Amino acid sequence: MRMTIDFHDNELKMSAFLTDKYAEILQKMGATQVVKQQRKGPYDVTDYQTSHLCGGAIMGERPDTSAVNRYLQSWDVSNLFVVGASAFPQNAGYNPTDTVGALAHWAAKAIRSQYIKNPGPLVHA
């Protein structure tokens, strides 16, 4: 798989705006030293090792509002399971590894105990 990621102009503008706002808030809270470092392009993975990219194949209860069901099974292709943080609409603010692991276990258990015995949708919407 190849992923090509880069910041767009609007993302850089948002970063500059938020960096200034955060600095302002910190100064009003009494911070004595504030170092502002807004994001700059191009994207470099070595600068953002703590990023946890999420989204793209959102999990949900209905196929008209999500890509996969509660077992991370595609609504459109029943033999496709999308395991990973792509099921989240956004990052919850913390490392998603434990949640991804729990969902992977949940999906694997459903595949093993239900899907293999009776291939097809595990959830009917």
Task: Supply the residues annotated as catalytic.
Answer: 52
The tokens describing 84, both together, are: 């990973």
CA distance 78 to 52: 27
Q: Tell me the CA distances in angstroms from 5 to 32, 68, 121, 122, one per residue in order.
A: 35, 23, 33, 33
